[in-house]
Amino acid sequence: MTATTDGPAGPGVSGTKNAERETPATAPTGTGDITALAERTAARAVDHLLARQDEAGWWKGDLETNITMDAEDLLLREFLGIRDERTFAAAARFIRSRQREDGAWATFHGGPGDLSATVEGYVALKLAGDDPEAPHMTRAAQWVREHGGVARSRVFTRIWLALFGWWRWEDLPELPPEIIWFPKWVPLNIYDFGCWARQTIVPLTVVSAFRPVHPAPFRLDELHRDPARPVPFTPMAPATTWDGAFQRIDRALHAYRKVASRRLRRAALKEASRWIIERQENDGCWGGIQPPAVYSLIALRLLGYDLDHPVMRAGLESLDRFAVWPDEQTRMIEACQSPVWDTCLASIALADAGLPRDHPALVKAADWMLGEQVVRPGDWSVRRPHLVPGGWAFEFHNDNYPDTDDTAEVALALRRIRHPDPERVERALSRAVRWNLGMQSGNGAWGAFDVDNTSTFPNRLPFCDFGEVIDPPSADVTAHVVEMLAAEGKQHDPRTRKAVSWLLAEQEADGSWFGRWGVNYLYGTGSVVPALVAAGLPTSHPAIRRAVRWLESVQNDDGGWGEDLRSYIDAEWIANGTSTASQTGWALMALLAAGEKDSKAVERGIGWLARTQREDGYWDEPCFTGTGFPWDFSINYHLYRMVFPLTALGRYLHGDGLERVVRRDA
């Protein structure tokens, strides 16, 4: 983990353009100067990235999210009775380091305080032994009360509190395990949810059925505005509205709980148990992400699985692999790990920066990626039962949930590498292309994990207030798949053309594209423009020119680009924020694809990258530029600050790496 040196609250993020400007000593003065500057900057970045490769061939940067991951890990250990003081002390130290001056915790660097994160952070520190009368704790408790108290926190936070008797189960939305039997054509069946939500909701139906209460070691009266009446009255919405309808459905489910057949309930719980265990990965985790692992372990424990049972033991061991220890005294929990994603992006960056196609580092990376291809069906096959597997997942172990985005980028990376067994590569790419084409949604675009996962009903459930719970097609994922299809010679395929038409229709009036999995319009635009050009759109196309004008108009005064996560909820923040290396890389990749190599905007962007690079080739980037759920869950991929600037620098110096491969092989 690369530790940041900012204070607990992080620096404020201004809503105005960054004030840092080029000085005469560092400002490029001509094409030759900027080229030499780009070469030196790229060379340092290449050396740094090569030094970070694992012996097995992969790259993985830390995946930083927010302290709810750390807090919930401690709550799980307390609930299961596996507490150890070293873990609690180290996690508490990390949680304290992220507290803002006002007592709250944010969900991203420099962001506003978040009520649920603050409640969970406070409870975790109190579990770790922090004195509630200590200044940092009294500030946190006061902040919680001023912002509505526990009652206004998200449902998931109150579920954690209910596990210890700090909240009543009766005052939470009901989630019956019988939904496991809903066929796929019935609204609100589990496959209507995105895979990340599905993996979490199934075990939570078990938890909801049992309503367990582990004796609380203390009270939390200080987090309620009125401890005597912790649950404020909330009037029902009109029955003619969707909110009102779902509120009444939830009330009916609470009534159903009282009359549900015990035999039926036992059978549903048994089926949920089977579903959970079948989806445990070889390394013990679930889906390669931490939240489903946490809830699955709780569910299985409630179903009678002893902590020494092989399923439980493997699951508990997998939790420790989500821990990053920046030093012996501090522990951070990753929500997920991103080796496949990081490795394909690093390979693309190095190849585009001019590393020989048969360089040992690239060949080793290709070998590792080829070994990670998923060749068995997963949950995606519920909607595509006859599709032959062939995708890649994001994580080390996640055979149930490969995604179209990783598959596209791995294919783009493999196509850049000269592997000693080209037939093996071609077989893998053939499977990948076939699988990705088979995962195309009806509108011509791609979601990340499932096909046509677009039902709006799951988002309306009172239970689902924790972020995005469906996986509709997005411009960034679709663009990456289109770019891959173009690289495989399918730019004229009717399915590719349909996707291109969808992308053109999705362009915003200002010329940008929305970014689902990265922040935000800079990511969307940085993904789409290179894909459209690769698919054959001329750089003179009106959509490309609008994108160029938009990127030029939002460039920061210092020459870089930046966008704050608040752009997901407030248009004032669109392409507005502190310049970052990753977002500057995205903007430059789009401008270079659009034929703007000699533009002033590109020159200034290259200058910013050169000026802000550290001597060791690294860029500091405390700002979060990755997206889990838009606004609700944000990510700082610690390798983004390397791979995207280097890709942009390489394309400035050498052109697109894939185009060079095609020219050489022709």
Any idea which residues carry the catalytic annotation?
405
Phi-psi region of 610 (alpha: psi -120 to 50; beta: other; left: phi over 0): alpha
Per-residue burial over 137-174, b if 16 or more Cβ lie within 10 Å, else e, is bebbbebbeebebbbebbbbbbbbbbbbebbebeebbb
Longest dimension (CA), the chain: 79
Distance CA 583, CA 31 (A): 23
Q: List the Cα angle 605/556/571 in 5-degree steps.
A: 130
Q: Which two tokens stand for residue 256?
A: 């159903």
- Tell me if 150 sits within 8 A of 119, measured CB to CB: yes
Phi and psi, residue 507, nearest 5°: -65, 135
Q: List the Cα angle 71/77/83 in 5-degree steps.
A: 110
Helix (H), strand (E) at residue 418:
none
Strand locations in 261-396 (E): 323-327, 330-333
Distance CA 269, CA 221 (A): 34
Integer angstrom CA distances of residue 512 from 395, 523, 526, 564? 30, 9, 9, 16
Q: Which two tokens stand for residue 386?
A: 């006859």
Residues in the chain: 666
- β-bridge mates for residue 286, sequence order: 280, 289
Burial class (CB in 10 A: 0-12, 13-18, 19+), 324: middle
Q: List the Cα angle 500/503/506 in 5-degree steps.
A: 155
Phi and psi, residue 213, nearest 5°: -135, 110
- Tell me if 578 sits within 8 A of 19, measured CB to CB: no
What is the signed CA dihedral for 282, 283, 288, 293, rounded to 10 degrees?
100
Q: Which two tokens stand for residue 136?
A: 């940092």
- Tell me if 106 sits within 8 A of 117, measured CB to CB: yes
Distance CA 632, CA 274 (A): 31
* Residue 628: strand, helix, or coil: strand
Dihedral (CA of 425, 427, 430, 431) sign: negative
Q: Which two tokens stand for residue 266?
A: 């036992």
Distance CA 96, CA 332 (A): 11
Distance CA 65, CA 334 (A): 7
- Tell me if 195 sits within 8 A of 394, measured CB to CB: no
Distance CA 428, CA 423 (A): 9
Distance CA 92, CA 131 (A): 12
* Residue 606: strand, helix, or coil: helix
